[in-house]
Amino acid sequence: MGNPLTFDFSNPNLFVPVYRPLLHDRKRTKIIYGGRGSAKSFIACQIKVMKCLRMPRKKFKCLMVRKMKEDVPESIFQNIKDVIELWGLKDYFRVYEGTHKIVCKLNGNSFIKKGLNQVSTKSGNAKSIRNPTDAIIDEADEITLNEYIKLSGSLRGSKEIEEILIFNPPEDDHWIIKHFFPKDKESFELPDGSHTYIKSPINNCTILHTMFKHNPFINDSELEFYTTLKKTNPELYKSDGLGLLVATKTGGEALKNFDPVKHVTTEKLFRNDIRILECWDFNRRPHHTVGIWQFWHESTTNTFFMALTKEFTLEETNIRDVQKEINTWLKEENYDPTTIRLVGDHQGTKEMDYDVETFMSKIEREIKRGGYRVINETKGNPRVVSSLEFLNDIFGGYIFLADDSGYENCKIQIIVQAGCTFHVADFAKTKVGKDGKLLKIEKSEVVRDGSTTKVVKYQIRGHGVDEARYAAVGVFEEEYRLFRKKD
């Protein structure tokens, strides 16, 4: 750095690799969230120190924001000092320890402490800080939506306004999640925490999720901490380690034993040499729900897997066309068996009108057109409460194959392909009432037919759960009989 006005930050090793795209990102709002040990706060301070040096004289004034002003010195303020020292820039900055202010000697650009608990005085209100251009908001989940709007609205005086919000995972109904994130966390969040950049519905916003595994500079003692945490406190590991959003528990979950970390995998489950079970739940809205299940025994662990390998949830698509899509997918996957097992909602076996083909008949006919034989195992629908408890116990690892199965002391385990996002959400969010039956949470939708309109109501939760109930009871008939007998 011979020329004090020219600084070279091109060495990629200065930054944790997952954060490098942020260095060239010019969107106004950046959200960096996730697990601890991922250097979230440090990259935010690196970005701002570089910008402080790059911007014209007094065109950069960055607020160091915490909910409580007393927390700023030990968090953002300290991190900025650490970056300055690490990069050998101490000669170019003046640090005021008393007021917790940092000023660049070269251009007068500055970092200023801001606590949202400060009273509305000349020195305490964000509006009294003339033309702040940037903000680092640490522990952003601690502030309210109203506080954020006021703070964000106070940023002005630059064509490159930028705010960086940093936080560890809050509950999934937090205002930040509702305001900036896609509607369903299952559409972007992977249960192993490996997801990174997330497309925000807000155009001028970049969202990045990170965790300790994304940080190659993490030391051995921290790695050991997370390894131990995973064993001793799996729930805390999900949030603090993997950086997963905390599911809002309101009580009454239908499948209390369903655990995304335990039951959902990003590994491909579909095996083209194992016969599939197609299981259907019929609903025109939001869609017919189809699960593609496969079953196999793992001898090394003596476990019988019930694997949801694929889902089909095609909106505005009739039954024949859904089955055509399934047939096409099977061909693409080089599905080798010549047969398909079929189970569905028993309502699908009934004629909806005189001499009208049933839903199940339509499916069977389309399967045969695809070149496969059908084994239709559909029977009367099982009782809701008992079959739901049976499915929940399978998720909990409490159901074993019957003695006549040929496998001794063999536990049934459900695993779900991460791409089955509708099922994952349904398993996590479907509720039951006091009677133990599924709660019918409805959504209204305006449907237009030419010049006429009407309001249509339909159930938004429970379809994946119902489909899984039919599959579990249909395949494990004897185990279900013994389960009901025991109860």
* pLDDT for the residue numbered 445: 66
* pLDDT for the residue numbered 121: 44
* Residue ranges of the chain whose pLDDT lies below 70: 1-5, 118-128, 246-251, 352-355, 444-451, 453, 455, 487
Looking at every residue in the chain, the average pLDDT score rounds to 90
* pLDDT for the residue numbered 1: 38
Q: How far, in Å, CA of 428 to CA of 247, rounded? A: 9
* pLDDT for the residue numbered 353: 52
Tokens of 312: 């089909």
Tokens of 350: 């009934």
C-alpha Rg value of the chain to the nearest Å: 28
* pLDDT for the residue numbered 309: 98
- For the chain, which domains are there? 12-214 (3.40.50.300), 260-486 (3.30.420.280)
Q: Report the candidate in 218, 264, 212, 259 with the shortest Cα–Cα distance to residue 240.
A: 212
* pLDDT for the residue numbered 5: 61
365's CB contacts (< 8 A; 6+ apart) are 357
Adjacent-strand bridge partners of 17: none
* pLDDT for the residue numbered 348: 87
pLDDT tens, 275-301? 999 999 998 888 999 999 999 999 999
* DSSP strand pairing (452-459 vs 442-449): antiparallel
pLDDT tens, 3-36? 356 788 999 999 999 999 999 999 999 999 999 9
* pLDDT for the residue numbered 350: 84
Adjacent-strand bridge partners of 442: 459
Tokens of 398: 């409490």
Query: Which phi-psi region, left, alpha or beta, contains residue 289 (left: φ > 0; alpha: ψ -120 to 50)?
Result: beta
* pLDDT for the residue numbered 117: 73
Residue type, 388: L
Residue type, 402: A
Residue 145's alpha-carbon distances to 134, 140, 175, 189, 353, in angstroms, are 18, 10, 6, 23, 53
Q: How far, in Å, CA of 451 to CA of 458, rounded? A: 22
Adjacent-strand bridge partners of 182: none
* DSSP strand pairing (411-417 vs 373-376): unpaired
Specify the DSSP class assigned to residue 272.
Answer: T
Residue labelled with tokens 């090793």: 13
* pLDDT for the residue numbered 73: 92
- Do residues 281 and 289 touch, judged by C-beta distance below 8 A? yes
pTM, 2 dp:
0.57
